[in-house]
């Protein structure tokens, strides 16, 4: 299984390429949708990395895909500018998912 990155900038794609991960650089909603559909339908791809900035363009679809797909694993990653999520994102995610307050 391969990893694939969908990025909004060339720096993130280049860094991932140096680690052996193929990917694309996209900028608008139509390009993001096409790249995501292509990656999901490729049986060789087991993990899709998408930058947080792009994931904010289609949050409901990303959430639905994370829940409904067994393959590929869909992961939001920060880009070269850092994370858009606040510091307690993981704690809040655990609390919302299983009702456990840490």
Residue-wise pLDDT tens digits, 25-43: 999 999 999 999 999 999 9
Quote the tokens at residue 51. Answer: 């930058």
Q: Using DSSP, how many helices (H) and how many strands (E) does the chain show?
A: 5, 4
For residue 75, give Cα distances in angstroms to 22, 48, 101, 102. Answer: 15, 6, 23, 23
CB count, 10 Å around CB of 85?
13
Phi, psi of 5 (to 5 degrees): -115, 135
| CATH (residue range 2-98) | 3.40.50.10580
Predicted pLDDT at 88: 61
Domain ranges in the chain?
A: 2-98
Model-wide pTM > 0.85:
no
H or E element: which one contains 8?
none
């Amino acid at each position: 299984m391969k990893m694939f990155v969908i990025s909004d900038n060339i720096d993130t794609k280049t860094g991932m390429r140096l680690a052996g991960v193929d990917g694309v650089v996209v900028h608008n909603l139509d390009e993001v949708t096409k790249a995501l559909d292509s990656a999901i339908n490729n049986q060789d791809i087991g993990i899709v990395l998408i930058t947080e900035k792009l994931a904010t363009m289609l949050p409901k679809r990303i959430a639905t895909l994370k829940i409904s797909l067994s393959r590929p694993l869909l992961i939001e990653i920060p880009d070269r500018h850092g994370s858009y999520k606040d510091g307690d994102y993981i704690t809040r995610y655990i609390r919302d998912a299983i009702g456990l307050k840490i």
